[in-house]
Amino acid sequence: MKNYNNVENCPVRNVIDRIGDKWSMLVLLVLEEGEVMRFSEIHKTIETISQKMLTVTLKALEADGLVSRTVYPQIPPKVEYQLTERGKSLLPHLHSLVGWAVDNMVNIKQSRKEYAAELS
Amino acid sequence: MKNYNNVENCPVRNVIDRIGDKWSMLVLLVLEEGEVMRFSEIHKTIETISQKMLTVTLKALEADGLVSRTVYPQIPPKVEYQLTERGKSLLPHLHSLVGWAVDNMVNIKQSRKEYAAELS
DNA sequence: CGGGATCCTAATAGATACTG
DNA sequence: CAGTATCTATTAGGATCCCG
């Protein structure tokens, strides 16, 4: 049996730590559709994210080399984001997961209801 | 552009809310290897998880119909867990993601270092 | 053995105000 | 416009004790 305890070097933990937060996966999918997008464009597409969390999420994705950030030094400032090659290479796997989610969401919701009903 | 704001019905958000927590993905992968496992066996395999979080995680997976739970009413109690068909159907997609993580982990770590160095 | 109940802390996320 | 800084609320997670 494999060793699942070394969090530091475990690729499983490594990948879910990055995309498993509240917004990263969503931002990646939005950037895939938009190709090149300004900060405010992303924000408009995901209205429910706060400005702070969008900043934090983009910085984390940038640090991992999944998203590139281009600053145009003008006033008012203009900053563009787009997927890097590494970021693009991740997307098929995300879509695979999303596809499964779409196919199973209805049944899962039903299971949750039944499970909750059993407890009462 | 798609609507990414309805969290309740968004399959993306739905799937990451389930597998994006600290332990779910790991438990699913362990159960795949072990096939049928008792609570204590899973706990031994993932030493770093607390008893409480293993309980919470297994309950959530059970509620979603990804894992089945069989109780043998004896003393001391014996409880066995295994993947359901739905759980098994999710695993290829997780492996797809893990594969990507393995391939890219080294480069990502390097990117993080460089990014951190730029800030100083 | 497989939890449940309780308490506590740390990490995460949101609101708001401010700025080059 | 694209953030930063600060503060607060919420949540996830861990430690400990208990019980059939």
The DSSP-derived string for chain B is: ------TTT-HHHHHHHHHSSSSHHHHHHHHHHHSSEEHHHHHHHSTTS-HHHHHHHHHHHHHTTSEEEEEE-SSS-EEEEEE-HHHHHHHHHHHHHHHHHHHHHHHHHHHHHHHHHHH-
- The answer to the question of residue B34 being in a domain is yes
Residue B18, pLDDT > 90, answer no
Q: Which of A14, A20, A102 sits opposite B11 (nearest CB)?
A: A102
Q: At residue A120, does pLDDT exceed 80?
A: no
Mean pLDDT across chain A: 91
* Residue A79 predicted with pLDDT over 90: yes
- Which band of pLDDT confidence, cut at 50, 70 and 90, is reported for residue A42? very high
Pairing of strands A37-38, A67-72: unpaired
Report CA(B78)–C1'(D9) in Å, whole number.
40
Let me know if A108 is exposed, middle or buried by CB neighbors in 10 A (0-12, 13-18, 19+): buried
Question: Does position B17 have pLDDT exceeding 90, yes or no?
Answer: no
Q: Output the domain CATH number for residue A43.
A: 1.10.10.10
- The overall average pLDDT reported for chain B is 91
In-domain check, residue A18 = yes
In a domain, B92, yes or no: no
Residue B83 lies inside a defined structural domain of this protein: yes
Number of domains in chain B: 1
Provide the token pair at A40: 């405010």
Nucleotides in D strand less than 7 A from protein CB: 1-6, 12-17, 20
Q: In this predicted structure, what is the pLDDT of residue A55?
A: 97
Claim: this prediction has a pTM higher than 0.95? no
Distance of C1' in D13 from CA in A8, Å: 18
Q: 84-113 in B: which are within 8 Å (CB) of A? A: 86, 89-90, 92-94, 96-102, 104-105, 107-108, 111-112
A43, part of any domain: yes
Asked, for residue B66, whether it belongs to a domain, the answer is: yes
Q: Is B99 a member of any domain?
A: no
Q: Is B58's CB less than 7 Å from nucleic acid strand D?
A: no
Task: Give me the domain span that covers residue B24.
Answer: 11-87
pLDDT interval class at B15 (50, 70, 90): confident
Give the integer Cα–Cα distance in Å for B53 and A101.
Answer: 24
Nearest C-alpha in B relative to A118: B63
DSSP A71: E
List the helix and strand counts (H, then E) for chain A: 5, 3
Q: Using pLDDT thresholds of 50, 70 and 90, give the confidence band for residue A19.
A: confident
- Does the residue A58 lie in any domain? yes
Residue-wise pLDDT for A46-76, tens only, equals 999 999 999 999 999 999 999 999 999 998 9
